Structure 1
Amino acid sequence: MLDLLNDLLWGKVLIALLLIVGVGFTVASRFVQFRYFTRMFRVLGASQAFQRNKHGHLSSFQALVLSIAGRVGGGNIAGVAVAITLGGPGAIFWMWMVGLIGMATSFLECSLAQAYKQAEPDGTYRGGPAHYISKGLGPRWKWMAAVYSVLLLVTFGFGFNALQSYAVATSLNDAFNIPVFYSGIGLAMIAGLIIFGGVKRIARVAEFLVPIMAVGYLLITLVVLGMNLSLIPDVIVLIVKSAFGLEQVVGGGIGAAIMMGVKRGLFSNEAGLGSAPNVAAVAYVPHPANQGVVQSFSVFIDTIIICSCTAFIILLSGIYDPAALADIGGVALTQSALADHVGDWGRSFVSIALLLFGFSTVLYNYYLGENSINFFNTSNQNLFNGFRVITIGLVCWGATTDLGTVFAFADVTMGLLALVNLIALVALFKPGLRILKDYDRQIAEGVEQPIFEAEKFRDMNVDPAAWVLEPEDIERLQQRSAALAQPRETLS
């Protein structure tokens, strides 16, 4: 039954919806993910300068690294290896395509999450698909928001936390002979110390951890590329040919390449799942599209950069052999490939990278589970503490258990999660474009940092309390209004 549902969701339904949303919004937005690609750096610079230390809110940068902490995980190391094993090198091409159109999808869902976020009594924000479904589509669709929240809790809060722990523990066991039981206990203890500190502590840890793990993995890949410069063009040709069935390397051919590329690409970058919007909504930004721009870049980092690192490490190695891939896969394939390039210490490096990637993802998954519970109940602190204890238990249990069935179940719930969110995004296309057009208009008028004036969007049912501007943005808005009024006064 699980295999049947997986084939239906990933082989037909989700591919169609991902194309409709990703390609549709790319065209309707005039390729927003490419138009505003370089603007991301200005957005992050402004958020670092103003909010992070002055007003107590999370900044765009902190929300970015927190979302990268979730996107960059076992899927970038083990998932890419699985995609190559089952779909051939062509799966990487389709993973790239999912990433590029997923940047537009991420822009849409994260802009909507910002627009429809709600203010909390402690001064923080909450938001995500459950909020933009219930507010953007209206009260009649609150049941759909509830379904999404339950699926989010089951998939990320429960399933994926166990899976990340399993991947990390088995990798450490392979590289260092550390018993999986001890790895599970260690991960659970450290995770517990952080998650009981709430989202701000999680963001601070991610802000420190994510740049180290991403830059370290990129550097080792550059070393591998430098050692194999003459082979790089051949690998690129192999990826493209395999993607279109011109190079038969696996039994499933082009169909397997597309299916594995889409599935593993979405599993890795999560664009369309609606997971990242839960994190994108917690930041203070002067305009929702700011966070859309930043979060679309996080998809680029995850899929086009980090996933490609793993792919080239594997495909440039002497380990890669299509006929023998059935005997080795997952993390072990990546470890063996890197060891082939740099020696046995490569196995240890992959295990350490997976430890950092997996641990940061556990923190991210916990927050998604907490946010899904928050949609139903915001006052019962015992409920949140209970979930924290369950998370710690799942991390410990996942490290010591064969999770084959859990993997299959998580694929189904992830597919259903994406299905609900993508349907909501289709329904909210117009509000998303309206937010973008307001941003485009201000940029065209020469405004360096556009500001979202919530009173102009009251018909969209946004929460005015979540859009109380910080002093710097109020001052800029007043200066702009004064500048616009001056020519009229001169004329009169």
Structure 2
Amino acid sequence: MESISNFVGWINGIVWGVPMIVLILGTGLFLQIRLGFMPIRKIGYGLKMVRRSRVPDDIADGDITPFAALMTTLSATIGTGNIAGVATAIALGGPGAVFWMWMTAFVGMATKYAEVVVAVKYREIDDRGHFVGGPMYAIRNGLGAKWGWLAAAFAVFGGLAGFGIGNMVQSNSISEAMNTAFGLPGWVSGVVIAGLTGAVILGGIKRIGAVAEKLIPAMAVIYVVAVLIVLLLNLTALPGALMTIITSAFSPTSAVGGFAGAAVMHGIRYGVARGIFSNEAGLGTAGIAQAAGSTRDPVYSGMIGMMGTFIDTIIICTMTALAIMVTGVWSSGESGAALSAAAFESALPGFGSELLALLLSVFAFTTILGWAFYGERCWAYLFGTRATMPFRILWTVAVFVGTVVTLDFAWLVADTLNAFMAIPNLISLIALSPVIVALTKEYLQRNERG
């Protein structure tokens, strides 16, 4: 087992090395330039579209509202990546990693916009009457049948990655948080989480969307308020924390306290990797959810979809990072969720770590729901809708398994599969960029005239 783990670790080091960083950031920057930096210029417009998308459009085609689709996307991204992932990036890459998470998000807004546009543009209706889309359909229908192998590759990588990154990793995080904060045995957490997961995903995207639409906004507000309290209690340390993040992005971080120090390249690598883990820009998953959303225009869906990256990384991840920095725990030697918990406990002694455990658990649970839909769509693409129910049952069982086993290896495999998901998606976005630009220009011109 050790030799297998070392081999996967070696592959992980390659796929998350300089070439992958260049591919992810380069694709996002390429799309930003091609779009005239529209995703950044239209942040205000995007937020307005998000508010409007709550109201169902009876004329538009889709299974759920665009807002519910966005909340499904956020349910899959706001979770372990925002709490444990940010802390891990700081612990391994230094404070400068946060800066590179920001950069990943700003270029990633263009990437996510593009992947939603093509997902909706090339979506289909399956044999059960549901709207389906995502990178596999965009590749097959946009690039042509000869690229079918690349579409299938994405579906395989996405279908497998889900069981790690979106399932067992999440349920394991919940189990550990509940055990640490409240002494709850892992199997008890497993039974509860698996039962709740099964109850939701058996209802398909409409039930997942309904749950996400109510749960995600409420939990996000609670989390932001909690972090704001931490920041207000350490307000004088805030300017220094921001300066440390920026300066560390371009110079090595010296060893301090329990922190071993980090080179600039470590900051870039972990910032980009954890940024992608957090907002999934470049993985293509947002397109799978938004393709189910009711819409009259792919660009409209893209405007809403790109705001997921802004909300997830620029707002939620930044809040977590600042809480860790202003409380001074970033140099304690802790990592992952334990580091975030230490920040909360430092500012809110007696209940801070318990509060974070509850928030992390709910966020991780919603991630399980969002990724259940992604995985289901990947396997349905490969084997047809008959694979839906067996997948949902297997997914629910895997949730329980994740709570009672050690998952260091699963984290490693999931991280690697994320990179393998990104490659086919990014290739298709570059190839389909003329279509994306043309649709965007047409939409903006039409709306400016209107």
Q: Please report the TM-score for the alignment, with normalisation by the length of structure 1.
A: 0.86
- 2:43 maps to 1:32: no
- Determine which of 282, 304, 309 is the counterpart of 1:299: 309
User: Cα 1:56–1:277, aligned 2, differ >3 Å: closer, same or farther?
Assistant: closer
**Mapped partners of 2:129, 2:19: distance in 1:** 40
Query: Residue in 1 aligned with 2:341?
Result: 335
Query: Residue in 2 aligned with 1:253?
Result: 263
**Mapped partners of 1:84, 1:107: distance in 2:** 27
1:7 Cα deviation (Å)?
1.6
1:247 Cα deviation (Å)?
4.1
Query: Residue in 2 aligned with 1:197?
Result: 203
Quote the RMSD (CA, aligned, Å): 1.7
Letter in 1 for 2:72: L
- 2:169 maps to 1:163: yes
Letter in 2 for 1:436: T
Query: Residue in 2 aligned with 1:234?
Result: 240
1:406 Cα deviation (Å)?
1.1
User: Cα 1:267–1:158, aligned 2, differ >3 Å: closer, same or farther?
Assistant: closer
- 2:289 maps to 1:279: yes
- 2:192 maps to 1:182: no
**Mapped partners of 1:68, 1:46: distance in 2:** 17
Name which of structure 1's ranges 46-55 and 184-193 shifts more when overlaid on structure 2: 46-55
Percent of aligned pairs sharing the same letter: 34
- 2:397 maps to 1:393: yes
User: Cα 1:303–1:45, aligned 2, differ >3 Å: closer, same or farther?
Assistant: closer
Q: How many residues align?
A: 440
- Determine which of 322, 330, 333 is the counterpart of 1:320: 330
**Mapped partners of 1:411, 1:10: distance in 2:** 9
Determine if contact 2:24/2:426 at 8 Å carries over to the other structure: yes
Query: Residue in 1 aligned with 2:277?
Result: 267
Determine if contact 1:70/1:360 at 8 Å carries over to the other structure: yes
Name which of structure 1's ranges 246-255 and 431-440 shifts more when overlaid on structure 2: 246-255
Query: Residue in 2 aligned with 1:2?
Result: 8
Query: Residue in 1 aligned with 2:154?
Result: 148
- 2:449 maps to 1:439: no
1:178 Cα deviation (Å)?
0.4
- Determine which of 41, 64, 86 is the counterpart of 2:70: 64
1:35 Cα deviation (Å)?
2.3
SS at match of 1:425: helix
Query: Residue in 1 aligned with 2:123?
Result: 117
**Mapped partners of 2:168, 2:195: distance in 1:** 14
Residue pairs, 1:57-136, within 5 angstroms = 57-136=63-142
SS at match of 1:320: helix
Which consecutive unaligned segments of at least 5 residues does structure 1 have? 448-492
Determine if contact 1:238/1:247 at 8 Å carries over to the other structure: no
1:344 Cα deviation (Å)?
2.2
**Mapped partners of 2:286, 2:76: distance in 1:** 8
Q: Please report the TM-score for the alignment, with normalisation by the length of structure 2.
A: 0.94
Q: Which has the larger radius of gyration?
A: 1
Report Cα offsets for 1:359-409 as digits up to 9, x if no partner: 0000011101110122123342xx322111111111101111111111111
Which consecutive unaligned segments of at least 5 residues does structure 2 have? 1-6
- Determine which of 404, 408, 413 is the counterpart of 1:404: 408
**Mapped partners of 2:345, 2:356: distance in 1:** 9
Determine if contact 2:91/2:330 at 8 Å carries over to the other structure: no
Query: Residue in 2 aligned with 1:351?
Result: 357
Determine if contact 1:51/1:57 at 8 Å carries over to the other structure: no
SS at match of 2:17: helix
**Mapped partners of 1:389, 1:271: distance in 2:** 28
Query: Residue in 1 aligned with 2:3?
Result: none
Report Cα offsets for 1:43-75 as digits up to 9, x if no partner: 234433342799873111111111110111101
Determine if contact 2:109/2:307 at 8 Å carries over to the other structure: yes
User: Cα 1:296–1:434, aligned 2, differ >3 Å: closer, same or farther?
Assistant: same
**Mapped partners of 1:42, 1:243: distance in 2:** 33
Report Cα offsets for 1:467-490 as digits up to 9, x if no partner: xxxxxxxxxxxxxxxxxxxxxxxx
SS at match of 2:43: coil
User: Cα 1:379–1:301, aligned 2, differ >3 Å: closer, same or farther?
Assistant: closer
Determine if contact 2:164/2:414 at 8 Å carries over to the other structure: no
